[in-house]
Structure 1
Amino acid sequence: MPFEMLSSDVNITYITSFLTVADPCHLYVLTADHCHPFLPALLVLGEAIHVVTLLGPIGASKRCTANHALGWTNALVVHTADDFLDNIIQRTHTKYQLESHLQLVMMSSHHPHGGCPLALVILLLVSMDPTATEVVRSVSDCAKFFLEETPPEIPGVLQHGTIQDQNRYKPICQTFYNTRRFMTLYDTDKKIPVFSAYRYTGHTVDRPSAIWKGEPQLETATSTEVNMRKMKKPTHQASLIDYKSKTYNKGHLFPSSHASDKVVQESTFTMTNAVPQDKTFNVGSWGRMEENVKDRMDELCYNQNDQIEAFVVTGAIPSANTPPLNNKVNIPTILWTAFCCFNKDSGKWLTSAHWGDNNANTPRLETKTLLQLRDTHRPA
């Protein structure tokens, strides 16, 4: 993929002259230098891409320059990430469809000298967010997030690795930047996850400013969409508007504070990884427990390769009596979490569990065993 660097004082004459002699068979991407981390998302087009990087920030005047220069081309001009999502991603939801769509747009105009289509130029002034996820047939498709690839036993829901009601419960391999980051079993009836499972390999600091998205494949079983995107009124999952509340907020099951880097952090911001959690409980006893567990895993969970590694499963027990939040999303009565890891110093496996009522009065969460978790919340 060829690159060309232009100085930040590039002007309309240079841009116009550059595009006049540019190879019309290529896709030209004008981007600010801070967008480089997001360029791999465009590699799907391979040799069809020519990246022109404008060094330095692009202000209003530079934006007008680009618009004017592109006025004579069949160009798609995008100023924000939302524009890009609205104009491209929401119409083309797989890499193949995106490539096909761009090729069609490029071919809709012809080069004045014949032969090849005019260059399609996309002006990206902010980052892209190429988040992808995948609804799969079986929990075993994401088994690497469980210790010894063995999922938990959830009576009436998941037994011996088999989903009891496959029309209601959907396993999701949560994928971000083409890598599966964690696994979620989602309840399309209650509109909350049953649990999320992940491998803890250390943590990063700071909470990212990420966009909450939805899962298109939950809406249509035959959908080929794999990219998360904004969803205004989904039927089989919760949306942002469903969480409007003074009492509850979006509680991560896989907390962003347990993510190993910023990319993994951003992958946790999906509505399929959240439940309505009492705000006081979230930032209080539950939040303190998450920090304590993180510190303990950092201290004790080292595998034979001397690397931090723990397997964590966090879930929610739906309410049978509490009215749904905004008449749609079940408010769980209890949140629970458990982890297991190997401690190379002792040569033993370590486990612990925590759970608490989803309300403002829940006291400090005591460390329990996995057997206590199972016996306490086993259906009568």
Structure 2
Amino acid sequence: MDKTAPKTEPAVIDSKITKNQTTTASHCASAMLLDAIPPQINQTALLKQTQNLCFEQFASLHSSITKGPLWVAEHLTPKKVNTKIKRQGEFHAEDQVPKNMRAELSDYKGSGYDRGHLAPSANMSTKSAQQDSFSLANMVPQNPKNNQNAWRNIEEAVRDVVSSSHQPVYLVTGVSFLNKTIPSIGKNKVLVPSHLYKAVYQPDTGVIGAYWIANTASAKPQIISLCELEAKTGINAFPLLNKEERRKVYDLPTIGKDVSKNGQIKLLKTDKTSECSNKISTTEASKLAQSFS
């Protein structure tokens, strides 16, 4: 593939909240978000020019600065995983987002980057939900080898855990921009993330942790605590969980063949060093809930 020359983009942001035309924000909160509370973003700059989007089987926070999602949330159940439908769907720009604030298909053409799903199409259990997943509001520019190998393996492993354990998980999948200069692609200057992550929480077993991977061809995923994820990104993926829970790191499998027959995952370690916020208060939880209503 041809590659677009990297460009440096400043980040200046203003906050905005909307509802999906067919699926309400309240549906997203109750169906996709743990305790109906969205991730807490502790870096205020990231909240500027953002828009909440609600789809049939995932919710997201879209940035008109990055021209893509900052995070996507899912509640992945055994029923969804075990409902097999043929991969189908057409990549499309997101009509809910104004044209001057979104990515277009032309931005990716010849860029050298894949249109990398944050909520995988294979997680979707209906044709309409799968079509939703092909929205560019669910895509980030991703290194092709990263997307087609390490990242795909992570997605498959998570589905295998859900299927084998017969227990649902909550997922928050997102991106970070840690490079001093941020590359962009296309006329609309879609920013290329330096890293991707997938935060995982299985309430019935207590399994918790996050996959963290650089957006490069040869990168290997790390398994980190949600506290370390927060320290790296400024995002508290599950803010109603206490600090002690978010310090735990379970041995999340990075490939399907490593998933045990019963889907059980052992505690790997406890992160005692990463800076980590406290569990949010009732008042803070109410404000966060209102931000996605």
Whether these two folds match at TM > 0.5 is yes
* Paired residues of 1:190 and 1:329 also in contact (CA < 8 A): yes
**Pairing partner for 1:321 from 153, 160, 181:** 181
Q: Where in structure 2 are the equivalents of 1:272-351 lying within 5 Å?
A: 272-302=137-167, 309-318=168-177, 321-327=181-187, 328-343=189-204, 348-351=205-208
* Paired residues of 2:23 and 2:54 also in contact (CA < 8 A): yes
**Pairing partner for 1:155 from 31, 36, 42:** 42
Displacement of 1:248: 0.6
The worse-fitting range, judged by mean Cα deviation, of 181-190 and 291-300 is 291-300
**Pairing partner for 1:212 from 91, 99, 108:** 91
Structure 2 counterpart of 1:154, one-letter code: I
Distance (Å, rounded) in 1 between the aligned partners of 2:186 and 2:47: 28
Distance (Å, rounded) in 1 between the aligned partners of 2:116 and 2:230: 23
Distance 1:186 1:320, change over 3 A: farther
Distance (Å, rounded) in 2 between the aligned partners of 1:188 and 1:376: 22
Gaps of 5+ in 1: 1-131, 175-179, 220-233, 303-308
Structure 2 counterpart of 1:335, one-letter code: L
Are 1:355 and 2:199 an aligned pair?
no
User: Identity, % of aligned pairs?
Assistant: 27
Equivalent residue number for residue 368 of structure 1:
224
Distance (Å, rounded) in 1 between the aligned partners of 2:37 and 2:53: 16
* Paired residues of 1:135 and 1:170 also in contact (CA < 8 A): no
Distance 1:317 1:235, change over 3 A: same
Equivalent residue number for residue 134 of structure 2:
269
Structure 2 counterpart of 1:143, one-letter code: A
Are 1:172 and 2:28 an aligned pair?
no
User: Number of paired residues?
Assistant: 212
Distance 1:157 1:299, change over 3 A: farther
Structure 1 counterpart of 2:28, one-letter code: C
Distance (Å, rounded) in 2 between the aligned partners of 1:313 and 1:320: 25
* Paired residues of 1:325 and 1:331 also in contact (CA < 8 A): yes
Structure 1 counterpart of 2:54, one-letter code: C
Distance 1:135 1:194, change over 3 A: farther
Are 1:198 and 2:74 an aligned pair?
yes
Gaps of 5+ in 2: 1-18, 236-274, 276-293
* Paired residues of 1:136 and 1:170 also in contact (CA < 8 A): no
Displacement of 1:273: 0.5
Displacement of 1:376: 3.6
Equivalent residue number for residue 248 of structure 1:
113
Displacement of 1:164: 4.0
Q: Where in structure 2 are the equivalents of 1:117-128 lying within 5 Å?
A: none
**TM-score, normalized by length of structure 1?**
0.51
* Paired residues of 2:93 and 2:137 also in contact (CA < 8 A): yes
Q: Where in structure 2 are the equivalents of 1:35-50 lying within 5 Å?
A: none
Distance (Å, rounded) in 2 between the aligned partners of 1:184 and 1:272: 8
Distance (Å, rounded) in 2 between the aligned partners of 1:286 and 1:317: 15
Secondary structure, counterpart of 1:287 in structure 2:
helix
Distance 1:170 1:254, change over 3 A: same
* Paired residues of 1:196 and 1:313 also in contact (CA < 8 A): yes
Distance (Å, rounded) in 1 between the aligned partners of 2:47 and 2:230: 19
* Paired residues of 1:336 and 1:356 also in contact (CA < 8 A): yes
Structure 2 counterpart of 1:325, one-letter code: I
Distance (Å, rounded) in 1 between the aligned partners of 2:22 and 2:216: 31
Distance (Å, rounded) in 2 between the aligned partners of 1:293 and 1:254: 12
Displacement of 1:136: 9.9
RMSD in angstroms over aligned alpha carbons? 2.8
Displacement of 1:313: 0.9
**TM-score, normalized by length of structure 2?**
0.64
Secondary structure, counterpart of 1:250 in structure 2:
strand
Displacement of 1:292: 1.1
Distance (Å, rounded) in 2 between the aligned partners of 1:339 and 1:157: 24
Distance 1:218 1:253, change over 3 A: same
Displacement of 1:192: 1.2
Distance 1:207 1:357, change over 3 A: farther
Equivalent residue number for residue 143 of structure 1:
29
Secondary structure, counterpart of 2:223 in structure 1:
coil
- Which has the higher relative contact order, 1 or 2, with Cα contacts under 8 A spaced 6 or more apart? 2
Distance (Å, rounded) in 1 between the aligned partners of 2:26 and 2:181: 32
